[in-house]
Amino acid sequence: MISGENNIVYKMKELEQEMKNNGLWQKEPPEWVNYFEEKIIISGNDFAQWLQYVFIPNQRLQAERGQAVKGKKMIVPAALKFFGEDVQKGKLLQLLIEIDALS
């Protein structure tokens, strides 16, 4: 059986790979990464950047520290809002549903 922390880390690796498969993963961080608390997400590209540079690293960090993820995360509604029908490409939506279920 996979522990909760290991499952989160595994799901983050799967999410990273699926984002790469869908051309959503960036090699260079956008300028706003250092000021992410001030960033207003207005597009699917912004949401993908937020997943890559804020959500995934924070989930991994919490899991590595053995900290439970605090509060229910509802990534799927945000993904549907910003990606629309595109979120159903590949298994990105399924992964986000699984990640929501873990939190």
What pLDDT is attached to residue 79?
87
* 76-82-88 Cα angle (round to 5): 60
- The phi-psi region of residue 71 (left if phi > 0; otherwise alpha if psi is between -120 and 50; otherwise beta) is left
| pLDDT tens track for 39-95 | 676 777 888 998 999 899 988 888 888 776 666 678 889 888 888 877 776 788 889
Q: pTM for this structure?
A: 0.80
- The phi-psi region of residue 84 (left if phi > 0; otherwise alpha if psi is between -120 and 50; otherwise beta) is left
